[in-house]
Amino acid sequence: MTDNDHGDVGKNRRRRVLYGRRMGRPLRVERRKLMEELLPAVRIDLTGAAPASLDPRSLFARPVFAAEALPPPAETWLEVGFGGGEHMCAQAAANARVGIIGCEPFVNGVASALQHIDGGRLENVRLHPDDARAVIDALAPASLARVYVLFPDPWPKARHAKRRFISDANLDALARVLRPGGLLVVASDDRGYIRWALARALAHPAFEWTAERAADWQERPADQPPSRYEEKAREKGISPVFLVFRLRSGF
Ligand SMILES: C[S@@+](CC[C@H](N)C(=O)[O-])C[C@H]1O[C@@H](n2cnc3c(N)ncnc32)[C@H](O)[C@@H]1O
């Protein structure tokens, strides 16, 4: 396998890696313990999952902290590249009836998210500590109400453009798993990435841009807590852009 390939997303398929590093500093004892004890309880098992068959509500059938099973979530959201899990877990805490699937290959980010899940005793988060595309491929059609792609790696050099998460192929895949009227939220502090993402989504027949006035892309949606990368951008004096697309009905 080369640096550009990714072997765990399908038997005969090789995919370009879209993310940067998988491992940062060695984990502290508490985080190592969460990786060993809590991750198995919240981790999505895709072993043997047939493509396009997974009902995401089934992932929440077994409680993590509660003694008894909880009702299935009213809807399911997906976060691609949750980083340290700040946005994902704040959303989970604020929306107990929503099941949130988070995907992130960066081990230290997964450990940080587990700390948030544990601290908030969050029942409604499930994790895939790897490439989001494997989960998207497994999901049943129209099974998600929202997808968040917040501050994706910008891969600013033109020769790395194929690694950008927002791509024609991934928009096709997201159009399949979003339900009609479902939302795709893309945020970035990289103007080049925003131009790229906007051009791709506007050219895609399944998505319509919801913005009606400048404030709609200049301000974070009111029901969305900040992510760590948003805060980092603001500390540097950069105002991020928030693009919200809706899946057209009948697509
Ligand atoms: C710049 S960070 C932003 C983290 C977080 N969303 C935030 O706003 O704080 C982008 C993250 O996306 C993750 N990532 C990149 N490609 C991914 C993929 N294909 N599936 C899941 N996560 C991915 C990276 O590992 C990285 O942690």
Q: Is residue 99 part of a domain?
A: yes
Q: Is residue 6 part of a domain?
A: no
Average pLDDT of the residues in 79-87: 98
Q: Is residue 7 part of a domain?
A: no
Q: Is residue 5 part of a domain?
A: no
248: Cα within 13 Å, side-chain hemisphere: 12
- Give dist(CA 123, CA 96) in Å, integer: 8
Ligand 1 pocket mutation, candidates 5, 18, 136, criterion most atoms within 8 A of CB: 18
Strands laid side by side in the 144-150 sheet: 125-128, 98-103, 75-80, 144-150, 178-188, 241-247, 207-209
Q: In which domain, by residue range, is 37 found?
A: 28-247
For the CA of 232, the closest atom of ligand 1 is 9
pLDDT of residue 12 exceeding 60, the answer is no
Residue 13: pLDDT band (50, 70, 90) is: low
Residue-wise pLDDT for 176-194, tens only, equals 999 999 999 999 999 999 9
Average pLDDT of the residues in 32-51: 96
pLDDT of residue 130 exceeding 70, the answer is yes
Just list the catalytic residues: 153
What is the structure's pLDDT at 211?
A: 98
- Give dist(CA 18, CA 16) in Å, integer: 6
Is there a contact between 136 and 173 (Cβ–Cβ < 8 Å)? yes
145 in contact with ligand 1, CB cutoff 6 A: no
What is the structure's pLDDT at 113?
A: 98
Neighbours of 7 (CB within 10 A): 11
* Average model confidence (pLDDT) across the chain: 93
Give the number of domains in the chain: 1
Average pLDDT of the residues in 117-139: 98
Least confident of 68-72, 87-91, 174-178, 220-224: 68-72
What is the structure's pLDDT at 16?
A: 86
Helices of type H across 102-165: 107-119, 132-138
Q: Which residues fall within 8 angstroms of residue 218, CB to CB, at 6 or more apart?
A: 239, 241, 242
Q: Which residue has the tokens 């550009």?
A: 4
What is the structure's pLDDT at 18?
A: 79
153 in contact with ligand 1, CB cutoff 6 A: yes
What is the structure's pLDDT at 121?
A: 98
Q: Is residue 74 part of a domain?
A: yes
Distance 18 CA to ligand 1 centre (A): 9
> What is the percent of the chain where pLDDT is above 90?
87
Q: Is residue 14 part of a domain?
A: no
pLDDT of residue 4 exceeding 80, the answer is no
Q: Is residue 102 part of a domain?
A: yes
* CATH, residue 81: 3.40.50.150
Ligand 1 pocket mutation, candidates 46, 147, 151, criterion most atoms within 8 A of CB: 151
Average pLDDT of the residues in 43-62: 96
Q: Is residue 130 part of a domain?
A: yes
What is the structure's pLDDT at 15?
A: 85
